[in-house]
Amino acid sequence: MANENEQIILDDEEIFDKDLLDDLIAKENIDGFREEFLALHSYEQSEYFEVSDDDIRQKMYRYLSPDEVAEFFESLEIDEEEYEDLFEEMNAAYASKVLEHMSYDNAVDILNQLSKKKIASLLMLMNREDAKEIKALLHYDEDTAGGIMTTEFISLTINTPVHEALMRVKEQAPDAETIYVIFVVDEEKKLVGVLSLRDLIIAENDTYIEDIMNERVISANVADDQEDVAQTMRDYDFIAMPVLDYQNHLLGIITIDDIVDVMDEEASEDYSRLAGVSDIDSTDDSIFQTALKRLPWLLILTVLGMITASILGSFEETLEKVALLAAFIPIISGMSGNSGTQSLAVAVRNISTGDIKEKSKFKLALRESGSGFLTGITCATSLCFIIIILYGQPYLALIVGTSLTIAMTVGTTIGSVIPLVMNRIGIDPAVASGPFITTINDIVSMLIYFGLATSFLT
């Protein structure tokens, strides 16, 4: 037995034999293809589907039943724009059957990428019950608890005896997203408790659900932000969490696999914004698409950069007197930009992981400014020595050093205060991207540097 067993170890690059599958499809060996393909894990099936071209996909639709396709569509990870094409290629009746067999939350995620017209036509072709459930879920905002929940959960009433409960779970199991968390409701479908399958399995046979359930339920409201839900589920180490309406009726559940996706999304978002790039995960874009997506931001930065240039232009006289001043423009603007980005990152990260409380915001800004001053004065001192040694100009060293210290102090203050203020007035602080802070700091640091130099020279 042990030797027959096919162990798949992480390190293997090839998790399935693509060439074999391609070959079976090319030879139109339906049974052979089905045998090989259906033996794969649904994630591997989705990987094969993703790398295959239209012709192969069309054949796959013919060789596989809608519920077999639905199985791996749950794991599909393609760019949002591609879904439209994907569903155009597919026969509409077949497509609606595929969606019918998917879990509701994933079907809704896909439908959200399609046009209103396409959604309506697909829902029309579905069986009435599934269409109704999916239609209800489509109403919720994609970023809310309602938008990521599914209605396929296991619920019991409080007066169920334990020996009956396992049977009820078994009945509801085929359709449920998870059977490991069981929700307990009263006659009005209000949530009154929760228990794990583990609790149920180790419970004494002669007790009732009411006796073993946990009444202190942590739940999400249907309108809660998905990021907050993710935070709570991580904090509490939940594998599923109930979603309620405003009257405490149980509407659906959110499972840990959705939360993992949310976390990934949010981390990617914060990261992209720090770099000022919106298309970080679109690897398939062409050069033109990439350029087009980045251009708006870069044009704004060009205009902002022109402000810096105009300010420096107005100091032309000073620059003509001491041309060497120009040599230190990059280091002063660069260091103020770098330390500002550090403070920005710390502030944004603390806000988005929820680590920061209202009263400690001021403390954070103060710490960033203070550390900006301390690091500034240290870097400035080293720089002064280097300038005196290299150029023998103590006055230049003094101007550059003082400017660097002030620029880094102000830079860290701007970097931390802007996101904190944005968070305060309800704007997602991550939109204060790295390049934006850097460019603001360019303007400010140049004003400091040349203001100081000019007043020194006159």
- Binding to its own copies in span 112-171, by CB under 8 A: 158, 166, 169-170
Q: Return the residue of 108, 137, 220, 444 that touches its own copies, per CB under 8 A.
A: 220
Footprint of its own copies on residues 229-248 (CB under 8 A)?
A: 229, 232, 234-237, 239, 244, 248
Q: Is 41 in the site for its own copies (CB under 8 A)?
A: yes
Q: Return the residue of 144, 151, 219, 402 that touches its own copies, per CB under 8 A.
A: 219
Please list the residues that pair with 156 across neighbouring strands: 184
Q: Return the residue of 271, 395, 427, 455 that touches its own copies, per CB under 8 A.
A: 271
Q: How many residues bind its own copies (CB under 8 A)?
A: 141
Q: Is 320 in the site for its own copies (CB under 8 A)?
A: yes
Q: Is the dihedral of CA 84, 86, 89, 95 positive or negative?
A: negative
Q: Return the residue of 45, 150, 371, 403 that touches its own copies, per CB under 8 A.
A: 371
Looking at the Cβ atoms of 90 and 230, the one nearer to its own copies is 230
Q: Return the residue of 36, 138, 208, 334 that touches its own copies, per CB under 8 A.
A: 334
Q: What b-and-e string marks burial along 235-262, b requiring 16 or more CB atoms within 10 Å of the CB?
A: eeebebbbbbeeebebbbbbbbebbeeb
Please list the residues that pair with 182 across neighbouring strands: 154, 195
Q: How far apart are CA 101 and CA 68, in angstroms?
A: 9
Q: How distant is the alpha carbon of residue 337 from its chain centre?
A: 26
Q: Considering only CA atoms, which of 192, 194, 156, 191 is closest in space to residue 173? A: 156
Kindly state the smallest distance separating residue 23's Cβ from its own copies, in Å. Answer: 21
Looking at the Cβ atoms of 96 and 178, the one nearer to its own copies is 178
Looking at the Cβ atoms of 62 and 391, the one nearer to its own copies is 391
Q: Return the residue of 76, 256, 365, 407 that touches its own copies, per CB under 8 A.
A: 256
Looking at the Cβ atoms of 96 and 438, the one nearer to its own copies is 438
DSSP for 332-353, please give it. Answer: HHHHHHHHHHHHHHHHHHHHHT
Footprint of its own copies on residues 77-116 (CB under 8 A)?
A: none
Footprint of its own copies on residues 172-191 (CB under 8 A)?
A: 173-174, 179-180, 186, 188, 190-191
User: Does residue 101 come out as left (phi exceeding 0), alpha (psi in the -120 to 50 range) or beta?
Assistant: alpha
Contact in structure between 157 and 187 (CB atoms under 8 Å): yes
Looking at the Cβ atoms of 96 and 369, the one nearer to its own copies is 369
Q: Is 366 in the site for its own copies (CB under 8 A)?
A: yes
Kindly state the smallest distance separating residue 342's Cβ from its own copies, in Å. Answer: 4
Q: Considering only CA atoms, which of 293, 193, 198, 204 is closest in space to residue 244? A: 193
Kindly state the smallest distance separating residue 243's Cβ from its own copies, in Å. Answer: 10
Looking at the Cβ atoms of 96 and 423, the one nearer to its own copies is 423
Footprint of its own copies on residues 399-458 (CB under 8 A)?
A: 434-435, 438-439, 442, 446
Contact in structure between 272 and 280 (CB atoms under 8 Å): yes
- The stretch among 65-73, 78-86, 90-98, 259-267 that binds its own copies (CB under 8 A) is 259-267
For residue 300, CA distances in Å to 164, 304, 325, 418, 425 come to 66, 6, 27, 18, 23
Q: Return the residue of 96, 150, 350, 416 that touches its own copies, per CB under 8 A.
A: 350
Q: Is 213 helix (H, G, I), strand (E, B) or coil?
A: coil
Q: Return the residue of 66, 276, 419, 429 that touches its own copies, per CB under 8 A.
A: 276
Q: Is 184 helix (H, G, I), strand (E, B) or coil?
A: strand
Kindly state the smallest distance separating residue 241's Cβ from its own copies, in Å. Answer: 9
Q: How far apart are CA 109 and CA 265, in angstroms?
A: 14
